Amino acid sequence: VYPVRPQVPAVGGYEGVGEVYSVGSAVKGLSPGDLVIPSPPSSGTWQTYVVKDHDTWHKISKDSPIEYAATVTVNPLTALRMLEDFTTLSTGDSIVQNGATSIVGQCVIQLARYRGIHSINIIRDRAGSDEVKERLKALGADEVFTESQLEVKNVKSLLSNIPEPALGLNCVGGHAASLVLKFLRQGGTMVTYGGMSKKPVTVSTSSFIFKDLSLRGFWLQKWLSADKAKECRDMVDYLLRLAQERKLKYEMELVPFDKFHSALEKALGKHGSQPKQVIKF
Amino acid sequence: VYPVRPQVPAVGGYEGVGEVYSVGSAVKGLSPGDLVIPSPPSSGTWQTYVVKDHDTWHKISKDSPIEYAATVTVNPLTALRMLEDFTTLSTGDSIVQNGATSIVGQCVIQLARYRGIHSINIIRDRAGSDEVKERLKALGADEVFTESQLEVKNVKSLLSNIPEPALGLNCVGGHAASLVLKFLRQGGTMVTYGGMSKKPVTVSTSSFIFKDLSLRGFWLQKWLSADKAKECRDMVDYLLRLAQERKLKYEMELVPFDKFHSALEKALGKHGSQPKQVIKF
């Protein structure tokens, strides 16, 4: 899927937390025992020892929740940037997203709520969807609909006291993307950051001309160009602070290394829907 | 198609040139005999006499080419705005459009050329397409392709010395819109202003995420909000100056009123492809 292919043989892992083992004599600001994450994220975290330039590492507070620190640099950052970079949202505004159970989706709900922004969330129809709705509402979701609930002429009539959203987030494509477009207000923007259904986005001519919608895309790896390093680390610190205050949480499982095989199977979806797997070496 | 419906009974006609017959005593800057156009355009030009507030009328130079003055406020204005409002184009840049034989398309070619911008043009496959290509090239088109010519893996290989376009214009939808998207460079924008095929625009997830394309829409009637009146008239004057200098021309037929019926049939496409019909009352 991604247009980035590491040369093989390569070491896997793009995120993670490490402990500083030793530092060169010229290194300032890092000492043995410090916790660090690669920021911007970079390949090769699945190894016992890594030697890299000290600029690669971002020192994090020792009381950062470790499993969040290990997973903060991609999904939560994507959620944060998408809420910031495409429209100006004010308290009381709303957004709509599909794929709301994804980690990005869970972060969007919480980061929006934290800023006083309502979220309208679209999930798949599947067994247990009522329970999923409750879980997302517990995170701060205002509305959660399954796709089949939205098979009505006017989806906006389903919204009680929430304004029409100016921003939509799409990580599914196909019909689920069309549902996001249906919710958007005149002049709204939909940002595509994934395509889980493997289906393209289809848009009517009138959506562009008369509804004046804008369609954009977001890819964190492109955003994380060199000159964003500082901004990126500030964002990581911000998100980890929220995680520490329990204002940001998402579903994951911290797994010891000797359970690697079953964690891999869970991550590959062999046992149905499972939380994100974070390996502890 | 349009979400604007005049109350019936209504007088047709949205563009046209009139001659001032008489003015009220408080009116300054307009005298009997002056040529005027409604600017912004407004319904009701198909009548012998019209009484409206003097602000409605934009006085044009008496040596303005009359058929251009009668048709300048919608299509050429649309072409001009779309070249200006979505990307910053510099001399040597290029654009791509489908529906290149439309009046908007013909204006885009000439306005682009006038600014030193290359145009890549996509037309339908039909009898006489070689002749159409020659006509568009005579207007200043750099490249003209039929849709079937673009059934190759890499459309960009067809471009010799033209840079990849940052701006695409779509008035067709469906496959012809996908061809515009294929030509666009990384980070490019496609503006939809029509949907002649009645088919929606379909976009892959990777076009948004990895190619970072933006999709937008343009509708002149929305752009022409009250506070654009002055800007609008300056644009009209600019375009009419170009028309007078023969730097802007497009295919139309000036028809006396007693040929109204055959002109209407031509305009409705009953005799195949015909130039735009401009009625002289």
**Interchain proximity B209–A193, CB inside 8 Å:** yes
Q: How many domains does chain B fold into?
A: 1
Residues 50-89 of B with CB under 8 A from A: none
Question: Regarding predicted confidence, which is higher, A26 or B225?
Answer: A26
Contacts A203 to B, Cβ<8 Å: 200-203, 215
If asked whether residues A100 and A186 sit together in one domain, one would say yes
Residue B25: the pLDDT is 94
Average pLDDT score, chain A:
93
Across the interface, whether the CB atoms of A202 and B206 are under 8 A apart is answered no
- Closest chain B residue to A2 measured between Cα atoms? B210
Q: Is B212 on the interface with A (CB under 8 A)?
A: yes
Beta strands in chain A (DSSP E): 18-19, 35-38, 57-60, 94-98, 118-123, 143-146, 167-170, 189-192, 201-203, 214-217, 252-256, 276-280
Q: What is the pLDDT of residue B208?
A: 97
What integer pLDDT is reported at residue B77 of this predicted model?
Answer: 94
pLDDT for position A125: 95
Question: What CATH number should be reported for the domain holding residue B104?
Answer: 3.40.50.720
Same domain? A99 vs A213: yes
Residues of chain B falling short of pLDDT 70: 1-2, 226
SS3 assignment, position B243: helix
Q: Are residues A172 and A244 in the same domain?
A: no
Residue B173 burial (10 A CB sphere; 0-12, 13-18, 19+) = buried
Domain annotation covers residue A193: yes
- pLDDT of A266 reads 92
- Nearest by CB: A215 against B210, B211, B215: B215
Res B213: pLDDT: 98
Which residues 220-279 on chain B approach chain A with CB closer than 8 angstroms?
222
Under the banding of pLDDT at 50, 70 and 90, the label for residue A271 is confident
Residue ranges making up the domain that contains A262: 253-281
Cβ separation A212–B192 shorter than 8 A: no
- Asked whether residue B7 is domain-assigned, the answer is no
- Percent of chain A beyond pLDDT 90? 72
Residue at A80 is within a domain: no
Boundary (domain end) residue, out of A198, A217, A236: A217
Q: Which pLDDT score is estimated for A36?
A: 95
Catalytic residue at B49? Answer: no
Q: Are residues A162 and A94 in the same domain?
A: yes
Kindly report the three-state secondary structure assignment for every residue of A215-236: EEECCHHHHCCHHHHHHHHHHH
Query: Is residue A269 located within the same domain as residue A209?
Result: no
Using CB atoms, pick whichever of A212, A218, A219 lies closest to residue B217. Answer: A212
Cβ-Cβ contacts under 8 Å, B194 against chain A: 205, 209
pLDDT(A281) > 90: no
CB-closest option in A2, A202, A217 to B213: A217
Is there a domain that residue A195 lies in? Answer: yes
Cα B270 to Cα B100, B253, B263, distances in angstroms: 21, 16, 10
- A170: number of CA atoms within 13 Å, CB side? 35
Q: Look at residue B1 in the predicted model and tell me its pLDDT.
A: 60
- pLDDT the model gives residue A204: 97
Q: How far is CA B22 from CA A11, B19, B55, B57, B70, in A?
A: 84, 9, 15, 13, 20
A146 and A266 both lie in a single domain: no
What number of other Cβ atoms are within 10 A of residue B265's Cβ?
A: 13
Nearest CA in chain A to B193: A209
Gap between the Cα atoms of B108 and B77, Å rounded? 10
CB nearest to A215's CB, from B2, B214, B219 = B214
What pLDDT was estimated at residue B274? 86
Least confident range from A75-79, A228-232, B100-104: namely: A228-232
Q: Are residues A119 and A183 in the same domain?
A: yes
State whether A217 and B211 contact (CB < 8 Å). yes
Would A78 be classed as within a structural domain? no
Give pLDDT, residue B251.
85
Indicate the residue type of B123.
I
Q: Could you tell me if residue A110 is inside a domain? A: yes
Strand B18-19 relative to strand B35-38: parallel, antiparallel, unpaired? antiparallel
Contacts of B202 in chain A (CB under 8 A): 200-203
CA distance B100 to A200: 26
Name the residue of chain B whose CA is nearest to A4's CA.
B210
Q: Is residue B74 part of a domain?
A: no
pLDDT at A1 over 70: no
* Residue B68 included in any domain: no
Tokens standing for residue A169: 């987030």
Tell me how close the Cα of B205 comes to any Cα of chain A, in angstroms: 6
pLDDT over 70 at A76, yes or no: yes
d(CA B173, CA B193) in angstroms, rounded, equals 10
| Residue A211 and residue A93 in one domain | yes
